[in-house]
Amino acid sequence: MLGIAMLLLGVAVGRLVDVVPALAQEGTEEAPARATETVPEGQPRYLAAMRTELEHMGIEGFACNATDAQRATCELTQRGPSSQREFRIRTAYSDRTDTVYVYVERFLVAPQDAPTTDAVMRRLMELNWQMLLGKLEWDPSDGEVRLAMVLNTDSNFDRRAFRSAIRGIVQLADRYWSELDRVQRGS
């Protein structure tokens, strides 16, 4: 008897779970709820949200601008608490690719022909293997090493993920810069 009661309770809960998300939706079939905020004409979809989040984080001196109707960039500088180094951070947002590319510009410079570049590359690859979020990139044409993260915005702009990416990239940069600078200098 208890088994049948549990089965009936499971069926009832299952049906309720199926109905509850529909009840939580605003709007009707004829007039669905708006899924996104109103965007000014000629502006990328999440430019205003990026500005707002940087303001809420208390970051001063940042600049965000539309590159065209579907792309935007932000520039800011953050000081690493341990290294005391100023890191120049850029974001590149695109409605076309539905991504926000966040990176530390010129995190390190490792010219192709420098005697320590092999050691730097080896350490960069070890760190790439260890990092769960973020990646290190190298441009062989000028030796620029970037620390980068990518956020997908295909379904929405996740404000917490954006804040985490900005904070996280500063923490990673601060954590690894001194070590990589020593490797690059051959110390």
Query: What is the percent of the chain with per-residue pLDDT over 70, rounded to a whole number?
Result: 79
- Domain residue limits, the chain: 47-185
**pLDDT, tens digit (0-9, with 9 covering 90-100), for 141-185:** 999 999 999 999 988 999 999 999 999 999 999 999 999 999 999
Query: Alpha-carbon distance 36 to 95, whole Å?
Result: 13
Instruction: Give 65's DSSP letter.
Output: E
Sheet containing 144-152: order of strands: 63-66, 71-79, 86-94, 99-109, 144-152, 135-138
Level-2 CATH architecture, domain 47-185: 2-Layer Sandwich (3.30)
CA distances to 11, 103, 114, 145, 186 from 141, in Å: 63, 18, 13, 11, 21
- Confidence band of 123 (pLDDT split at 50, 70, 90): very high
Q: Flag whether pLDDT at 113 surpasses 70.
A: yes
Mean predicted lDDT score pLDDT of the chain: 85
